[in-house]
């Protein structure tokens, strides 16, 4: 499970794609996302996924995005099954499942290449309130910490003879109490300590805090921006021309 979720977790690499301004990476991911929604034939989806995989290869993240796809495979099968059972035909069922995978991989490309710090900058640039941005960043920052807490709590309770996988459904639900209570208590204590540390480092003292890094688009970013917009528009127009909606 943890291995699969790696398909959405940022990892620092150096590549021509990672060098791009995070806003341009978001734009490119968004273009793929929209085109995946618009695509009307399996071949179009195959082309899109191919392009996404090509970009992930450039970003040296093919493996991680593969994990995201593997992770979503179960859901894709489910979508396929539902559509097939509903009698939409084999082709449509495949199309919907494939479209779902294309959407997942386009999202994954963005998250795998974008650090939470960059996400924070994008959110600020988009005008989200500072507290919202900070809450989001902190939540992401503490995911691994809370996961470690959870595994240590489970170890401690197993060492006191607790067997999770035993008994009726009700018994199993009750078995979660010794895990959840310490997890919640620890998180409350942790957030108290975080609040003290934030306060001690002047959080919220000015309405307009500065930033160590500025997002500054270079010619390289503009070029990527224009090129990707042109290609996406062309692809969009092509799809629209052949399969006008409504």
In the complex, which residues of this chain contact other proteins (CB under 8 A)? 2-3, 12, 115-117, 134, 137-138, 141, 144-145, 149, 152-153, 155-163, 177-178, 181-182, 185-186, 189-190, 193-206, 208-214
Minimum CB separation of residue 136 from other proteins in Å reads 12
Buried residues in 90-123 as b, exposed as e (16+ CB within 10 A): eeebbbbbbbbbbbbbbbbbbbbbbebebbbbbb
Rounded Cα distance, 198 and 200, in Å:
5
Minimum CB separation of residue 71 from other proteins in Å reads 16
Q: Which residues contact 211 (CB under 8 A, 6 or more apart)?
A: 121, 124
∠ CA 217-31-47 to the nearest 5 degrees? 125
Comparing CB distances to other proteins, the nearer of 168 and 210 is 210
Comparing CB distances to other proteins, the nearer of 89 and 204 is 204
Comparing CB distances to other proteins, the nearer of 211 and 233 is 211
Comparing CB distances to other proteins, the nearer of 66 and 149 is 149
Comparing CB distances to other proteins, the nearer of 105 and 113 is 113
Minimum CB separation of residue 11 from other proteins in Å reads 9
| CA dist list (Å): 177 to 143, 189, 193 | 20, 18, 24
Minimum CB separation of residue 160 from other proteins in Å reads 4
Rounded Cα distance, 194 and 14, in Å:
32
Task: Read off the DSSP letter of residue 9.
Answer: S
Minimum CB separation of residue 214 from other proteins in Å reads 7
């Amino acid at each position: 499970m943890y291995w699969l979720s790696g398909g959405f977790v940022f990892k620092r690499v150096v590549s021509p794609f990672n060098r791009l301004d995070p806003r341009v990476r978001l734009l490119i991911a968004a273009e793929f996302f929209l085109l995946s929604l618009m695509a009307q034939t399996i071949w179009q989806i195959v082309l899109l996924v191919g392009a996404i995989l090509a970009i992930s290869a450039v970003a040296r993240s093919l493996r991680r995005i593969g994990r995201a796809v593997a992770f979503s495979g179960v859901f894709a099968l489910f979508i396929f099954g539902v559509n097939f059972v509903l009698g939409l035909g084999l082709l449509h069922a495949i199309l919907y499942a494939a479209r779902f995978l294309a959407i997942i991989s386009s999202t994954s490309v963005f998250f795998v290449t974008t650090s939470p710090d960059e996400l924070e900058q994008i959110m600020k640039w988009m005008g989200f309130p500072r507290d919202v941005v900070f809450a989001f960043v902190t939540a992401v920052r503490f995911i691994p910490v809370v996961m470690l807490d959870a595994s240590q709590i489970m170890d401690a309770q197993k060492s006191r003879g607790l067997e999770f996988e035993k008994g009726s459904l009700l018994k199993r639900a009750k078995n979660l109490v010794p895990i959840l209570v310490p997890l919640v208590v620890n998180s409350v204590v942790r957030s108290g300590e975080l609040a003290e540390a934030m306060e001690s480092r002047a959080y919220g003292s000015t309405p307009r805090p500065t930033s160590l890094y500025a997002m500054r688009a270079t010619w390289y970013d503009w070029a990527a921006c224009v090129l990707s917009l042109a290609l996406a528009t062309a692809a969009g127009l092509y799809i629209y021309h052949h399969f006008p909606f409504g």
